[in-house]
C-alpha cells in the first residue's frame, strides 16, 4: 500500500497525518527579523524560548499560539507565503510535489535521524533567553 504522503495532497491529509509530517527539525522555531524597508524576513540562529534545543520540540505545543506571539501555525492557506521555511521542511516539500528525504521519521522510523542528518536546529541554535533583542541582527543566517 502506498504511503499517505506519496498519494495525498496536504489538503487531503487527516489531522494525524498532517501532524506526523513534521520532521522535528525545529528550524521554523528560529526567531525571525524583518527588514522594515524591503519587508523581507530573515531567520536567525536564535531559537524561540519555548524550543527545547536538545530535542527540537516545543515545550508547550498545545498553547504555543497563545504564549508566543511570533509563533506561526502552518496551514494550507499560509504555507506559500512562508518563505523562511527551510527547503527540508516536509510541508514545504509536499506542497512543492517533492519526495521526503530518507531521514524523515516517517521513512526512517527514527526521530533522531533528522539530527544525525545535520538538518535540525539542535546543532547551532542559541535560545532567545540568552540574546538581547538588539543583538538579533548579528545572528541572521541564510
Using CA atoms, how far apart are residues 33 and 18, in angstroms rounded to an integer? 27
Least distance from C-beta 98 to ligand SF4, angstroms?
A: 13
CB 36 within 8 A of CB 23: no
Q: In terms of CB distance, is 1 or 79 closer to ligand SF4?
A: 79
16 or 37: whose CB is closer to ligand SF4? Answer: 16
| Residue whose entry in the numeric block shows the C-alpha cell 500500500 | 1
CA distances from 129 to 55, 63, 125, 133 (A): 17, 19, 12, 10
Tell me the closest approach of the beta carbon of residue 1 to ligand SF4, in angstroms: 24
What is the DSSP-derived secondary structure letter of residue 99? P
Q: Of the two residues 1 and 127, which places its CB atom closer to ligand SF4 in the complex?
A: 127
Q: Shortest approach of ligand SF4 to residue 27 CB, angstroms?
A: 5
Residue 29 vs 46, nearer CB to ligand SF4 = 29
- Least CB distance to ligand SF4 at residue 83 (A): 13
Residue 13 or 85: the one with the smaller Cβ distance to ligand SF4 is 85
CB of 42 to ligand SF4, least distance (A): 16
Sites of contact with ligand SF4 (CB under 6 A): 22-29, 48, 50-51, 58, 64, 68, 71, 74, 85-86, 89-91
Decide the pairing of beta strands 51-52 and 140-141: unpaired
Q: How far apart are CA 127 and CA 51, in angstroms?
A: 8
Cβ neighbours of residue 8 closer than 8 Å, sequence gap 6 or more: 17
Amino acid at each position: 500500500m502506498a504511503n499517505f504522503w506519496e498519494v495525498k495532497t496536504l489538503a487531503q491529509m487527516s489531522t494525524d497525518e498532517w501532524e506526523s509530517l513534521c520532521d522535528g527539525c525545529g528550524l521554523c522555531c528560529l526567531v525571525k527579523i524583518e527588514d522594515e524597508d524591503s519587508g523581507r524576513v530573515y531567520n536567525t540562529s536564535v531559537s524561540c524560548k519555548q524550543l527545547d534545543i536538545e530535542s527540537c520540540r516545543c515545550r508547550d505545543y498545545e498553547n504555543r499560539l497563545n504564549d508566543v506571539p511570533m509563533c506561526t501555525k502552518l496551514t494550507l492557506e499560509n504555507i506559500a507565503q512562508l518563505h523562511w521555511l527551510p527547503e527540508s521542511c516536509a510541508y514545504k516539500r509536499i506542497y512543492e510535489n517533492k519526495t521526503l528525504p530518507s531521514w524523515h521519521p516517517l521513512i526512517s522510523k527514527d526521530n533522531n535521524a533528522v539530527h544525525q542528518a545535520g538538518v535540525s536546529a539542535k546543532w547551532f541554535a542559541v535560545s532567545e533567553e540568552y540574546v538581547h533583542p538588539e543583538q538579533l541582527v548579528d545572528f541572521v543566517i541564510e
